[in-house]
Structure 1
Amino acid sequence: ERALANPKIEVKWNSTVDEVLGDDKQGVTGVRLRSTVDKHKTEELAASGYFCAIGHTPNTDFLKGQLKLNEKKYIDWTTPQRTYTSVEGVFAAGDVADDYYRQAITAAGSGCQAALDAERWLALKGFE
């Protein structure tokens, strides 16, 4: 709502970024948008930077009834500072479990945590 009310922001509905424009000397100079309604229609916009976000809705619908999810549909970690889930031996990492930071770097970090948690769990179960 704030973005829509801001006169400095123009929302480009029904569009996807087709290409980030620029070169090594100038850096980012713009973006090429492609219409999702008419795939043959493109538009170029001048820009001096580009930030890409994948959204804030976790893709966890397929887990409903199998893992405990919170009210926002993120996987609940059952132990603070660990990647354990409601199912023993299942570990959650990244944006499906992080409803606060939602950044690639924190997702990568929690992926490392999940790998270590899984490795330790396997060792406790006698798999080495």
Structure 2
Amino acid sequence: MKLDQARPISLLLARIAIGAIFIVHGLEKLNERGVGGTIDYFDSLGIPLAVVAAPAVLLLEVVGGAAVILGAGLPIVGVMLAVDMMGAIFFVQGPKGWKASELCLSLLVGSLVLAFSGGGALAVDKLWMNRKRSTAAS
């Protein structure tokens, strides 16, 4: 298999793994704490505007994770998820040390890679752009 043939598959696998991790973590917060409990938790960590940040993070991690898997809106969603992980590193994991921050750092970098890679040929973004181009050419 040539590199050009492997790239879409490797980006798809990365999207599935990264998106699934975000979905699982978002649902975990929602199921274990609920929105109110997550707001209280964020507030206890000193996260600014916890009443806004907590629901936004829950929504971003679940819906954004699904968008990453589909490869939809990757430039925006990928950057937003990277910012989410910056917050997780700064407020939650970073104070605990390097080991605690490894997953967040990996997700941050992976989200940026997907944001700026276009997600590959098997991404909804790419399929939509190809359809848009073919319609414009007609």
TM-score (normalised: structure 1) = 0.26
Higher relative contact order (CA 8 A, sep 6+): 2
Higher normalized strand content (fraction of residues): 1
Radius of gyration: which is bigger? Answer: 1
TM-score (normalised: structure 2) = 0.25
Higher normalized helix content (fraction of residues): 2
